[in-house]
Amino acid sequence: MSSDVTPVAIIQAAQGFMASKHLFVANEIGLFEKLADGPVALDEIARAIGLPRRTARIVVDAMVALGFVARQGSRYENTAAAQAFLTGRGPMDLRHFLRFWNRLSYPRWDKLEQAVRTGKPLFGELELTKEEQEIFSKGVGAFTTGAAMALATAYDFKRHRHVLDVGGGTGNFLILLLTQHPHLEGTLFELPQAAAVARKTVAASPAASRIKIAEGDVFKDPIPEGKDALILGNVVHLFGPERNLEILRRLRARVREGARLLIVDFWTDPTHAEPVFAALMAGEFLINTGEGDVYSDEEARGWFEETGWRFVERKPLVGPQSLVVAEAAK
Ligand SMILES: C[S@@+](CC[C@H](N)C(=O)[O-])C[C@H]1O[C@@H](n2cnc3c(N)ncnc32)[C@H](O)[C@@H]1O
């Protein structure tokens, strides 16, 4: 064996679940919020949160090890990323995203082996209680807010008047787009339980008067027609190719020639191994629906040819999220 072959990468990847769970727990107990106003001593952290000092120390030290908390003498403070994204004080609140992965995703990942072995759905299709729906919608919305912000500037919305966001979650894409582009009107199309969460977030936004909410199932119900831009954000990864073809056909039937379809997702390279984040997320989508996956834009081009759309371009947005644009063909 060559001496430059080491097991370090294997051990690091294997320990990844410990890093995740420590971070989730630090978030759940409100550690980063407690440190948001400046350095705090361990005794005070334990007292304020209501933890034994010994166990508080274990979580805090793990956060120091991972670089989310820094130790200054006997006191601890948030590092810049934790302060910006895990205290609820910045524009992107990843506390909701960590809660979603901790409470919904993490327990489900226990079933990855079964999902891989059987290829069968293990859970009812997106079957969530009201509380879980709120955690899911807010968690996804927190994560995709970066992509929504990037979309508002990466794509030229001047040519459009009315944007329909299909499976639009909390409405974060429409809220950010319409706030930045005052000439736009928006409609959010969502399943009833998710629409209930969106109604609250949209109502609290500055764009509320320009956003309508339509309830429905993209496979069964009439999709609002005649809009000139459609967003499909993080929806195709929930489904297999056949159902994605069905979605694209149904959307094409509701718009005029020239309308644009903006698909935001974890688009991969043709091997599905890049970006790494996307390759790992394929497991999340498999577990959740039994047919979910990540796709390359080459695959999307094939879908467009079959469903009356023409590929226009692919643009990076933020991190592993990118945009594929198509135009309604004749
Ligand atoms: C991963 S979330 C993405 C939310 C949002 N587009 C974003 O990127 O932040 C997928 C969304 O698709 C919605 N969805 C799933 N199946 C649907 C269906 N059959 N009809 C309408 N919406 C659906 C879900 O309710 C969920 O909010």
Taking residues 66-78, report their average pLDDT: 97
Give dist(CA 278, CA 143) in Å, integer. 14
Q: Give the angle 226-308-252 at the CA atoms, nearest 5°.
A: 25
* Nearest alpha carbon, ligand 1 atom 24: 167
pLDDT at 90: 87
Q: What gap in Å lies between CA 316 and CA 272, rounded to an integer?
A: 16
Structural domain boundaries in the chain: 8-85, 95-328
105 touches 166 (CB < 8 A): no
> What single-letter amino acid sits at 140?
V
Cis peptide before 206 (omega within 30 of 0): no
8-85 belongs to which CATH class? Answer: mainly alpha
Mean pLDDT of 259-287: 97
Residue having the nearest C-alpha atom to atom 14 of ligand 1: 167
DSSP, collapsed to helix, strand or coil, labels residue 165 as strand
- Is the C-beta atom of 265 inside 6 A of ligand 1? no
pLDDT, position 200: 97
Q: CA triplet 145, 146, 148: central angle to 5 degrees? A: 60
Tell me how far the alpha carbon of residue 303 lies from the centroid of ligand 1, in angstroms.
19
Q: Is any atom of ligand 1 closer than 6 Å to the C-beta of 115?
A: no
Nearest CA to ligand 1 atom 11: 167
Is 30 near ligand 1, meaning CB less than 6 Å away? Answer: no
Residue 315 CA to ligand 1 centre (angstroms): 22
State the pLDDT at residue 126: 60
Q: Residue 123: pLDDT band by 50, 70, 90 thresholds? A: confident
pTM, rounded to two decimals: 0.95
What residue's CA is closest to ligand 1, atom 13?
Answer: 167
168 Cβ closer than 6 Å to some ligand 1 atom: yes
> What is the C-alpha to C-alpha distance for residues 234 and 264, in angstroms, rounded to an integer?
6
Pull the structure tokens for residue 100.
């979603």
Residue 140 Cα, ligand 1 centroid: separation in angstroms? Answer: 10
> Looking at domain 95-328, which CATH architecture does it have?
3-Layer(aba) Sandwich (3.40)
**What does the chain come to in residues?**
330
Phi and psi at 113, nearest 5°, equal -60, -45
Beta bridge pairs of residue 231: 165, 262
Give per-residue pLDDT as tens, 215-261: 999 999 999 999 999 999 999 999 999 999 999 999 999 999 999 99
**What's the sign of the alpha-carbon dihedral 297, 191, 112, 101?**
positive
Pocket lining: 140 vs ligand 1, CB cutoff 6 Å: yes
Closest CA to 195 of 232, 224, 168: 168
What percent of the chain clears pLDDT 90, i.e. is strictly above it?
A: 95
